[in-house]
Homo-oligomer: A and B are copies of this chain.
Amino acid sequence: MASLEDAVVDQIRTAARRVSSSYVRFGIGDDAAILRSPRAGRELLLTTDQIIENTHFVMGRHPARALGHKTLARGLSDIAAMGGAPLCFLLSLSLPESLGLVWLKQYIYGMFRLSKAHGVPCVGGDVARSGHFSAAITVVGDVPRGKALPRAGARPGDLLFVSGSLGGSALGLLRLLEGSRARGAAVERHLFPEPRLALGRLLREKLKATAAMDLSDGLSTDLARLALASKVKAEVDSAAIPVFLGASGEQALHGGEEYELLFTVRPGVRVPALMGGVRLSYIGRILPGRGVWVRTPRGVERLEPRGFQHFRR
């Protein structure tokens, strides 16, 4: 009888065959995958992320299909934040023996539905036994040479924007952990985040965004990273933050796993309210100085990073 490991590898191999790409010369099945070089004038993007049981999700609360989706979505979101196009991905899974093939099939289904939707094939991986479930994903992408959207490019005078609305993922997670049976919009938002790939490319091509990053750990934490990398001060207008319907201000400011794009543009750039089907909101500006500040009716105060950080929860 085949081992669980073999069965999972078979499932992945079959699912991977359904997604083709002209970049892939050889996918799963050798010591390494072979990928054609990007087209002339482009350079490579590489990003890696993990989804770990009890750190990023709770078995029994988070459906397998959603976890498969999110494993890949996290990596694709990083490529989106660079203004790039994803080419392929590699997957490492560590599986407890207790985990059944039914669960794993759902996990793989969720991942490869997204893989197919974006034409991003799986070209390799590693499946091993472990005490609990974890997945590590590496996504390879490309971008025109010298055009990747950095975190460090924001300059004083730039205007600060965010895509979509914030707080929905934190609200959805709360509902999920409370055991809510109803699958409302917030829970969907938490389970199936949509990587903003089309938007990322438009930010680079049309808006010439000066800096961009994806919101994985919460606005307060990620904006602090952008400001630190760019050596600038960011001032957010609290009234301007687009809050997900039903979410609190706290959830919008600090809730993680939004996978929306935070970006800056030079003053004078005309930013449409809707781009690639996604809402864009002006939320503040970049100034000389350091740190993140928030303007409220009470005045301007420091915005402490209180988003998701491992070992600190």
Distance in Å from the Cβ of A216 to the closest Cβ of chain B? 9
Q: With both chains docked as a complex, state the minimum distance between the C-beta of A204 and any C-beta of chain B, in angstroms.
A: 13
Q: Is A50 an interface residue (CB 8 A)?
A: yes
CB within 8 Å for A37 and B47 given contacts A78-B32, A130-B55, A214-B31: no
| Closest chain B residue to A129, Cβ basis | B310
Question: Do A132 and B131 contact each other (CB < 8 Å), given the known contacts A46-B33, A309-B3?
Answer: yes
Which residues from chain B contact A125 at a C-beta distance below 8 Å? 48
Q: A37-B37, A94-B134, A138-B90 are in contact. Are A311 and B47 (CB under 8 A)?
A: no
- Minimum CB–CB distance from A128 to chain B (whole Å) comes to 5
Contact of A22 with B by CB under 8 A = no
Chain A facing B: main interface SS = strand
CA distance A227 to B19 in the complex (A): 27
Say yes or no: is A43 at the interface (Cβ < 8 Å to chain B): yes
Residue A42 lies at the interface, judged by CB distance under 8 Å to chain B = yes
Does A157 lie at the interface of the complex (its beta carbon under 8 Å from any beta carbon of B)?
no
CB-based contact B92/A32 at 8 Å: no
Docked-complex contact A30 and B128, CB < 8 angstroms: no
Provide the residues of chain B in CB contact with A97, threshold 8 Å.
311
Choose among B47, B54, B127 the residue that contacts A31 (Cβ–Cβ < 8 A).
B47
Report the minimal beta-carbon distance from A130 to chain B, rounded to whole angstroms.
5
Pair B128/A46 contact, Cβ less than 8 Å: no
Does A168 lie at the interface of the complex (its beta carbon under 8 Å from any beta carbon of B)? no
Asked if A275 CB lies within 8 Å of chain B CBs, one says no
Chain B residue nearest to A142 (CB atoms) is: B37
Task: Looking at the assembled complex, report how far the CB atom of A185 sits from the nearest CB atom of chain B, in whole angstroms.
Answer: 26
Chain B residue numbers with a CB within 8 Å of A213 are 30-31
Asked if A10 is an interface residue, CB under 8 A from chain B, the answer is no
Contact B94 A30 (CB under 8 A): no
Q: Cβ of A4 < 8 Å from any Cβ of B?
A: yes
- Contact assessment for B47 and A3 in the assembled complex, using a CB-CB cutoff below 8 Å: no
B-binding segment of A79-87, A111-119, A158-166, A234-242? A79-87
Instruction: With both chains docked as a complex, state the minimum distance between the C-beta of A262 and any C-beta of chain B, in angstroms.
Output: 11
- Bound: A37/B36 CA distance, A: 10
Q: Does A103 contact B (CB under 8 A)?
A: no
Whether A52 and B138, one on each chain, are in contact in the complex, defined by CB atoms closer than 8 angstroms, is no
Interface string of A65-102 (1 = CB under 8 A from B): 00000000000011101101000101110100100000
- With A37-B44, A48-B138, A138-B138 given, name 16 new contacts (CB 8 A): A26-B148, A29-B229, A32-B45, A32-B47, A32-B78, A36-B43, A47-B124, A48-B90, A48-B124, A49-B126, A50-B92, A50-B94, A52-B94, A92-B92, A94-B134, A136-B136
Top-3 shortest CB links A-B: A136-B136, A32-B47, A31-B81
